[in-house]
Amino acid sequence: MPSFRLSNLFFALLSIAGAVRAVVEPTAVYDGGLQSDSDILLRIASGGAGQQGLVKAIADAYIQESVKNGSKPFKVSWVLSDTTFSIKNLQSGDADIGITYNPAAEKIAGDQGIIDPKTYYLFRDHFLIVGPKENPASISNCSDVQTIFAKLYQSADKNSANTTVPTRWLSRYDKSATNMKESQLWLSIGQVPWSMPYSTWYHQFIAFPVQALTTAVQLKEYTLTDRATYLSISPEVASQTVIFKASSDDADDPLLNPAHLLVGKKTQNETLAYHFADWATGVNGQKVITDFKKNGQQLYSGAPKDDTRQRN
């Protein structure tokens, strides 16, 4: 039957098109310092934790320990992507593991069968509200987060043309977890600054965390960042900005930034992906996280002890 053959040909062409689809190139490849000529067995999609070097630290420790335990050497790659893109990479099969920061997006990905709905609480990062020393909005760390946002809005709304340092806010505006958190905080005071066709003070700047914070500092703008990103910029740049509010480890703190590890349904090797997830949230993996330092300072808190594996 010619029609049957034609449709076969059609599907064959479709699968060739699928096979030549652009592959997501790794941002970095880690080998545990073993310099072996081995394959990449695990691909991790992550934003900030990759940029700060935590993915490298975890990957290297995992490879070294696996080899010590008798495995053949292998490699782990990191793909730079924020929460939204990490989930897309898991959906397309371009990553096996994601490290993300938005429980709502994680739950939807679980409901839609993109990831295993049981996610792993990996570590706690902490959001910070930072801004210029001049502090034109006169915000103070004694106020709660909503009061700070209300003051920022009121001050920005009446910026005068001749202020040397006007109140301006840098928004990542990229659907990253930081952008979503910032949006929630504006909504919590009844404001939607991104809905203005043009704003003199709401600066939409699409960039990864380190670049976004550096730009905010250079332009003397307030922004939302996280502790690990803050400790990753050069001390010289960091000294030009002030932390006005920082999250505690309290689960109810509106500035707490919990990171979860996700296992994609299209993972190349399920056994390895789940072994890695259990290891990273177990004693040895958590020790790598809490030992991880920049300029002598610990960047992340481990996961809360009672809460490593969560059912969304």
Which residues contact ligand NAG (rule: CB under 6 A)? 62, 65-66, 69, 141, 160-162, 269, 271-272, 279, 284
Q: Cα(227)–Cα(229) distance, rounded to whole angstroms?
A: 5
C-alpha neighbours within 13 Å on the C-beta side of residue 206: 5
- If the CB atoms of residues 162 and 195 are measured against ligand NAG, the closer one turns out to be 162
- If the CB atoms of residues 38 and 204 are measured against ligand NAG, the closer one turns out to be 38
Q: C-beta of 272: minimal distance to ligand NAG in Å?
A: 4
Q: C-beta of 140: minimal distance to ligand NAG in Å?
A: 7
Q: Cα(155)–Cα(145) distance, rounded to whole angstroms?
A: 15
Asked if residue 285 lies in contact with residue 58, where contact means CB atoms within 8 angstroms, the answer is yes
- If the CB atoms of residues 114 and 255 are measured against ligand NAG, the closer one turns out to be 255
- If the CB atoms of residues 269 and 297 are measured against ligand NAG, the closer one turns out to be 269
Q: Provide DSSP, 97-152.
A: EEEE--HHHHHHHHHTTSB-SEEEEEEEEEEEEEEETT-TT---TTS-HHHHHHHH
Q: C-beta of 278: minimal distance to ligand NAG in Å?
A: 8
- If the CB atoms of residues 65 and 253 are measured against ligand NAG, the closer one turns out to be 65
Q: Cα(190)–Cα(41) distance, rounded to whole angstroms?
A: 47
Residue the block writes with tokens 């695990």: 42
